[in-house]
């Protein structure tokens, strides 16, 4: 019996076809048939820098992001050579009176300050880097570009101001390193569809290496020809403008599948308002790269208020009564905490909206699931929208009325929550991962 076996690579491309036959009764034969059009030299060269199984192994926004990312890395490499030349001029390269010990001490000061800044920034920003990876990916390069500008200013300053300026430059580069490293890791995890994160990072390093090499080669021509201050600054500003423009285009090309605060605002408000669940691609076109922390917006309009999720219970209680400065106790609460606990006894959170501050305080219970966090944020958004409507028509709302509105909106949200989660999953959102907490949070147990 004749058999035909097809062999394909990771991307699904046919590599060979094996056909069995018999020359005679006891003499089998296997023919190997290769495709008429083999893999071109250009494709083989690209495969060195692309993940195995491309394009099936990565998300569809991967290649667009990588193109812009490569262009920004190329321009940054050239700009980096210009700034490095300025730093060398500042420490006295070419000056017979310059001391190598002074240059070494300056390098030690910069390195020490940069390392300390890295530790501090990683502690302060660590929780926010993954939920807001697109913002911090662009912000990292803003910091890096400012550091380059400061480096180029350093040669014209006296010794002490120059040391201070280069120290600030080192701090900015430390910020860039923390923000870029963590945000790129989150983006790589988004791109890796087959769990091929390690290989994807390795190929990303290969891409950066070849682009940096090309940038250094081009930059060596630039720095040898661009020598006057006017030409240097003109070239630097042009390169940094291209750098930031390409970075902005790169992060705009990414369509994340997890719901952070801003994306939750857009998706939930549209779903509650019109019953339509927006896809990640549609939300990507609507979301801002830079958004105010904790802002609550209804369908991308003006800020209705702010929400803080995972706050200590004391923060919520302080919005209900008077906080004693010494003991930290709360007195004269307008709403008894037992009423709030009773209202949210079936949910993984407790919510209160402070109208005077336009702030929602969300206290999370022990074991709160990602779905509970998303529901809590959606509840804060919904009640801020409802209270915004009452403010627009001039209706006064006291704390008792706010509590009743909390109960009404909770019942409304709870009744349709399973359908909301199903609708979000059907259009591609990963509701099993929470990206709503941007600071270290607490949990309570009742």
What secondary structure does DSSP assign to 394-420, as a single string? T----HHHHHHHHHHHHHHHHHHHHHH
List of residues 6+ apart from 94 with CB closer than 8 A = none
Per mean pLDDT, which range of 4-8, 61-65, 164-168, 273-277 is the poorest?
Answer: 4-8
> Is there a contact between 441 and 366 (Cβ–Cβ < 8 Å)?
no
* Chain segment 212-256, per-residue pLDDT in tens: 999 999 999 999 999 899 999 999 999 999 999 999 999 999 999
pLDDT at 439 over 90: no
The pLDDT of residue 98: 63
- With vertex at residue 154, the alpha carbon angle to CA 149 and CA 156, rounded to the nearest 5 degrees, is 120
For 368-402, give the DSSP string.
Answer: --HHHHHHHHHHHHHHHHHHHHHHHTT----HHHH
Q: What pLDDT does 395 receive? A: 61
Q: How many CB atoms lie within 10 A of CB 314?
A: 13
In this prediction, residues 150-166 reach a mean pLDDT of 90
Mean pLDDT for the chain overall? 89
Per-residue pLDDT for 394 more than 60? no
* 88-98 pLDDT, tens digit each: 887 776 565 66
Determine the Cα–Cα distance for residues 73 and 214; give it in Å rounded to an integer. 10
- The encoded tokens of residue 146 equal 């400012």
Between 25 and 31, residue with greater pLDDT? 31
C-alpha 342: how far from chain center: 37
Rg of the Cα atoms in the chain: 29
> Quick one: average pLDDT of 413-431?
95
Q: Which residue has the higher pLDDT, 345 or 159?
A: 345
CA dist., res. 113 & res. 115, Å (int): 6
Whole-number Å distance between alpha carbons of 404 and 410: 10
Cα gap 291→128, rounded to integer Å: 13
What's the pTM value of the predicted model, to 2 decimals? 0.88
Q: Which residue has the higher pLDDT, 17 or 307?
A: 307
Please state the φ and ψ torsions of residue 300, each to the nearest 5 degrees.
75, 10
Distance, CA of 155 to CA of 62 (rounded, Å): 41
How sure is the predictor about 288, in pLDDT bands with cuts at 50, 70 and 90? very high
What are the C-alpha distances in Å from 76 to residues 81, 139, 200?
9, 14, 22
Strands 303-309, 359-365: pairing kind: parallel
Beta bridge partners of 221: none
Name the burial class of residue 64, with classes exposed (0-12), middle (13-18) and buried (19+) by CB atoms within 10 angstroms of its CB.
Answer: middle
Alpha-carbon torsion (45, 47, 50, 56), positive or negative: positive
Helices (H), 54-196: 62-90, 100-129, 133-153, 159-191
> In the structure encoding, which two tokens stand for residue 351, read together?
């919510």
Average pLDDT over residues 167-172: 94
Quick: pLDDT tens for 177-201: 999 999 999 999 999 988 889 989 9
Average pLDDT value for residue range 52-66: 91
Question: How far is it, in rounded angstroms, from Cα 307 to Cα 304?
Answer: 10
Q: Are 194 and 159 in contact (CB under 8 A)?
A: no
Residue of higher predicted confidence among 55 and 285: 285
pLDDT tens digit sequence for 306-318 = 999 999 999 998 8
Lowest mean pLDDT among 18-22, 116-120, 330-334, 343-347: 330-334
Partners of residue 131 on adjacent β-strands: none
Pairing of strands 443-444, 359-365: parallel
Strand order in the sheet with 27-33: 4-8, 14-24, 27-33
Average pLDDT over residues 249-274: 95
């Amino acid at each position: 019996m004749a058999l035909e076996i097809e062999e394909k690579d990771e991307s699904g491309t046919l590599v060979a076809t094996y056909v069995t036959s018999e020359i005679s009764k006891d003499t089998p034969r296997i023919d190997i048939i290769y495709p008429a059009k083999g893999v071109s030299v250009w494709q083989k060269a690209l495969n060195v820098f692309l993940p195995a199984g491309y394009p099936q192994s990565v998300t569809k926004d991967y290649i667009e992001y990588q193109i812009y990312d490569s262009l920004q890395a190329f321009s940054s490499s050239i700009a980096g050579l210009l700034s490095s030349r300025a730093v060398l001029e500042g420490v006295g390269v070419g000056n017979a009176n310059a001391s190598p010990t002074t240059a070494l001490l300056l390098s030690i000061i910069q390195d020490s300050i940069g390392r300390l800044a890295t530790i501090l920034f990683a502690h302060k920003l660590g929780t926010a880097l993954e939920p807001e990876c697109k913002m911090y990916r662009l912000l990292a390069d803003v910091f890096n570009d400012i550091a380059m500008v400061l480096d180029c200013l350093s040669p014209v300053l006296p010794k002490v101001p120059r040391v201070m300026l280069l120290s600030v430059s080192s701090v900015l580069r430390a910020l860039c390193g923390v923000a870029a490293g963590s945000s790129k890791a989150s983006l790589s995890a988004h791109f890796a569809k087959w769990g091929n994160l390690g290989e994807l990072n390795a190929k990303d390093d290969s891409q950066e290496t070849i682009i940096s090499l090309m940038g250094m080669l081009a930059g060596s021509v630039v720095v040898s020809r661009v020598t006057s201050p006017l030409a240097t600054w003109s070239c630097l500003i042009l390169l940094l403008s291209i750098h930031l423009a390409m970075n902005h285009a790169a992060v705009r090309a990414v369509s994340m599948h997890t719901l952070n605060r801003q994306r939750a605002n857009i998706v939930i408000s549209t779903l509650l308002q019109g019953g339509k669940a927006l896809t990640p691609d549609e939300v990507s076109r609507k979301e801002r790269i830079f958004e105010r922390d904790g802002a609550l917006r209804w369908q991308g309009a003006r800020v209705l208020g702010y929400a803080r999720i995972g706050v200590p219970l004391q923060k919520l209680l302080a919005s209900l009564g008077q906080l004693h400065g010494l003991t930290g106790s709360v007195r004269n609460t307008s709403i008894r905490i037992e009423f709030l606990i009773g209202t949210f006894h079936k949910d993984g959170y407790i919510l209160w909206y402070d109208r005077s501050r336009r702030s929602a305080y969300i206290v999370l219970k022990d074991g709160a699931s990602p779905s509970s966090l998303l529901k809590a944020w959606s509840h804060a958004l919904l009640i801020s929208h409802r209270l915004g409507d009452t403010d627009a028509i001039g209706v006064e709302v006291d704390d008792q009325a706010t509590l009743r509105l909390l109960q009404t909106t909770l019942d409304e949200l709870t009744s349709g929550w399973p359908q909301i989660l199903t609708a979000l999953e059907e259009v591609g959102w990963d509701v099993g991962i929470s990206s709503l907490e941007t600071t270290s949070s607490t949990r309570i147990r009742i």
